[in-house]
Structure 1
Amino acid sequence: MASTIVHDSDAATRVGRTRADGYDDIEPRLARLASIPPGDPERAVLREEIVRCCLPLADHIARRFTGRGETYDDLHQIASLGLVLAVDRFDPDRGSNFLAFAVPTIMGEVRRHFRDHTWAVRVPRRIKDLKLTLGPAVEALSQRLERPPTAVEIAVELDADLTEVTQALLAANAYRTDSLDSAAQTSDAEIHAAPVTETLGDDDPGYGLAEDALTVAPLLAELSDIDRAVLRLRFFEGQSQSRIAERLGVSQMHISRTLTRILADLRERALGD
Structure 2
Amino acid sequence: MRQGITEEQSRLLTSWLGGFSVVKDYSWPLQDTNVLHVATPSGDEFIVKASTTSHHIHREIAAHAGGFEGLHGRIPALRHASADAGILVTEFLPGTLVEGTPAEDDPETYRQAGALLARIHRPAGVSSTYATALTAKTRAWMDRAHGLLPESQLDSFEQALHELRPGVALLVATHGDYQPRNWLQDNGQVKVIDFGRAEPRPWVHDLVRLSHQRFVGRPDLADAFQAGLGKTVAPAETDVWRLENLNQAIGTVVWANQLGDAAFEQTGRTMVERMLSGF
Tell me the TM-score range normalised by the shorter chain.
Answer: under 0.3
Greater helix fraction, Structure 1 or Structure 2: 1
Greater strand fraction, Structure 1 or Structure 2: 2
Q: Which has the higher contact order (CA 8 A, sep 6+)?
A: 2
Q: Which has the larger radius of gyration?
A: 1
Q: TM-score of the superposition, structure 1-length normalised?
A: 0.25
